Amino acid sequence: MGVVKIGIEDLYSDIILDYAKNSKYRKEIPASKKAEGKNLSCGDEITIFVKVDKGKIVEASYLGHGCIISQASAAMMCEIIEGKTVEEAEKILNEVIKMSQGKEYDKNLIDGMEVFSDISNFPMRIKCFTLSWHTLEEAINNQD
């Protein structure tokens, strides 16, 4: 049995393209927590807005520009973390980062992000994918 090669075009599924183009999360919201992130190697820039009430993320959004991978990842991230506690969001974030590094991760926690499960095969794309997640981490760790 031969080795199956995965091309970069395999990464751009219809789901990823749809999230990148049609995101209801691409907007500024009044947020209790916010952070800005940049991927200097690719030119991606993002601002994450998180509205937290009593330890729960009641709304999340982003603004920015960049490649399809960074924009789809940000949109999917916002969808996944809304309604979760900050602690749950941090657990999800940790599992998504593990996935991006090609490590074992809890598929039950990442709720749809597995469409990016091959991202570790594309080292130049990992920073694009994780930009919103690292920016989320910064936002939720910022003191109010």
68 in a structural domain: yes
> Which pLDDT score, from 0 to 100, does residue 6 have?
45
Q: Given pLDDT bands bounded at 50, 70 and 90, which one contains residue 9?
A: low
13 in a structural domain: no
Helices 68-81 and 14-21 sit at what angle, rounded to 10 degrees? 80
CB atoms within 10 A of CB 15: 13
Q: What are the φ and ψ backbone dihedral angles of 56, each rounded to 5 degrees?
A: -115, 140
DSSP state letter for 142: S
CATH number at residue 125: 3.90.1010.10
End-to-end CA distance of the chain: 55
Per-residue pLDDT tens digits for 74-130 = 999 999 999 999 999 999 999 999 999 999 999 999 988 888 888 998 888 899 999
User: Mean per-residue pLDDT for 21-41?
Assistant: 91
- Count the domains in the chain: 1
2 in a structural domain: no
15 in a structural domain: no
DSSP state letter for 38: E
Q: Which residues contact 3 (CB under 8 A, 6 or more apart)?
A: none
* Sole residue written with tokens 């199956």: 4
Per-residue pLDDT tens digits for 126-135 = 999 999 999 9
Question: What domain range is 129 assigned to?
Answer: 23-141
127 in a structural domain: yes
